[in-house]
Amino acid sequence: MSTTQAYSPVGLPGRDTPEALLHVGTALLVVALAVSAFAVWTPFGVAATFVLTLIISNAMPSGVPVLIICAFLYQNLVVAWFTPYIADNDTFDALRGTNFIILMTAFAIFLAASLQYRVRALSELRPWLLLSMVLCGTICLYFALGAVYGGPKDAVVYFRNTITPLACFHVAVLAASLYPVDLRKSMLWLGAGAIIYGYAELIFTMDFLGLFHGDQYVERSISRQVETGVWEKALQETGFVYRGIEDVMTTTFFNTPLFNDILPSVFRIGGPNFHPISYGYALSIISAWLLFRGRWLLPFAALPLLLVIGSKGATFLLFVAIAVRLVYSPSRAGLALMAVMALAVVWTTAAIAYGATHGDYHVLGLIAGMRDFLADPLGQGLGLGGNLSSTSINLNWQSAQAEGAASVPVESAVGVMLYQMGVGSLVFFGFLTALAAALRRQLIETGDPDFLFGFVGIVTISANAVLQEEAFYSPLALAFCLLLVGVSLGTRWRMAAAARTEASS
């Protein structure tokens, strides 16, 4: 990474629109080129993605956070175009892994940048770099353990999901500490694009997806589930008969049987990333971030889409953000933060209490994680247990409901992490707790609503993670939130350092 670029130590008023256009346009182009390179040949794709990310990180380091957001939100839209031409499932999966190569390349580059003198001179940043290194080492240790004692492929999947939030935070906080990173226009445009896409998908359904082979993308995912026996198992356990793609894409309003007899079924949109819950978190986080910056139109436009998607956790995040935004004032910052924590506790407690009396899968998975953690506090290793692991394929939910716990932890990010990482998971939880405390302190000192957004995001997503794997493991949930948090903290520390330098000169 270049250390001699002429960036001013503070923001550049008046240049936000041209720079945002450059960042968003370049990011979308890089994502398209990288996915295309993977479609040619996987090793070529890895090399091309590495080189492209390296170039952007050196030539335009302040645009790297936008590149990461675009990669996670819009990559699968590009992948869908190639669906008819990629016959091999391994190659298809490689295309979908492009965003992780982008992220880890940027992570490695900014990790190397941590050794620079001007980074060490930022006293506020040093403890976070140290904590990041400790957490990274812990994750790598449990990755090695999981690869040895479990399946290497499962270990890789959970390594990716576990390290992504840390990598996003590290890249963002370093980028914003060294360069002015202004996401105002970028987030507005990316959010508007995601919302327009959502309404187009909701109104025109499969006709819209068919314009860019999105219908074939969805069919490919479902056919792989059929091959692995997912729908046969669903038939045995719930009586659900899979008849076609629209059966899977249609759900009850807000994804709950409570509205079965009141409202008609809806087409459950997946967004440009083709995953409903992750898309819901993306909409919620973008909306909350804009909300705390005084923009109300896009958040309210996103709200109906969230209700259709039916992700209760993502919707809860946005509702908390709206409530806090309405009552917040700098003089009552402490009270507002306490209210956020109280809402999170009540939400989680009520969900566990309801789920425990109804044999809810998420609660059964959480109980399994806590049970196995107490039995073996050292942990099993990444990839053992969890929705995305092969170890949970043969899980019998009827037996789990009868026994009061699943045979392996699933559905709950907290339960899965306790099982996989044991006491090492406490480093992860401690990292989030320390971040929330730092954001609280910065909010009280500065009154900057960016820190209020970060606090709300971390607390509500952590509460959701008690009963939802996607809250921690989806790149558009915790990882996206921590990227924005990293930008806020890095900007604050860069400007504080500039003020100290000016005062001493």
pLDDT tens digit sequence for 481-502: 999 999 999 999 999 888 887 8
In the prediction, which pLDDT does 6 show?
33
> How large is the average pLDDT for residues 137-166?
96
> How large is the average pLDDT for residues 22-28?
97
- Helical ranges in 297-423 per DSSP H: 297-309, 312-327, 333-357, 361-375, 397-403, 413-421
Kindly list the distances between the CA atom of residue 117 and the CA atoms of 110, 120, 178, 225, 345, in Å, as whole numbers in the listed order: 13, 5, 11, 51, 42
CA 105, CA 124: separation in Å to the nearest integer?
25
Q: Using an 8 Å Cβ cutoff, are 422 and 378 in contact?
A: yes
Beta bridge partners of 267: 250
In the prediction, which pLDDT does 7 show?
33
Q: Using an 8 Å Cβ cutoff, are 404 and 369 in contact?
A: no
User: CA 157, 160, 163 angle in degrees (round to 5)?
Assistant: 145
Residue with the two structure tokens 């009868």 = 402
Beta bridge partners of 266: 251
Q: Is the pLDDT of residue 235 over 90?
A: no
pLDDT single digits (tens) 298-351: 999 999 999 999 899 999 999 999 999 999 988 888 999 999 999 999 999 999
- Write the single-letter amino acid at 49: T
Q: Give residue 115's pLDDT band: very low, low, confident or very high (50, 70, 90).
A: confident
CA 340, CA 484: separation in Å to the nearest integer?
19
Q: Is the pLDDT of residue 410 over 60?
A: yes
Phi and psi angles of residue 267, each rounded to the nearest 5 degrees, phi first? -80, 115
Report the share of the chain in percent with pLDDT over 70.
89
Q: Using an 8 Å Cβ cutoff, are 68 and 282 in contact?
A: no
In the prediction, which pLDDT does 296 show?
92
Q: Give residue 1's pLDDT band: very low, low, confident or very high (50, 70, 90).
A: very low
Give DSSP secondary structure letters for 283-300.
HHHHHHHHHTTT--HHHH
For the chain, the helix, strand and coil percentages under 3-state DSSP, each to the nearest 5: 80, 0, 20
CA 445, CA 441: separation in Å to the nearest integer?
6
> How large is the average pLDDT for residues 378-389?
94
- Write the single-letter amino acid at 199: Y
Q: Is the pLDDT of residue 234 over 60?
A: no
Q: Using an 8 Å Cβ cutoff, are 406 and 365 in contact?
A: yes
pLDDT single digits (tens) 180-197: 999 999 999 999 999 999
What tokens were used for 23? 């960042």
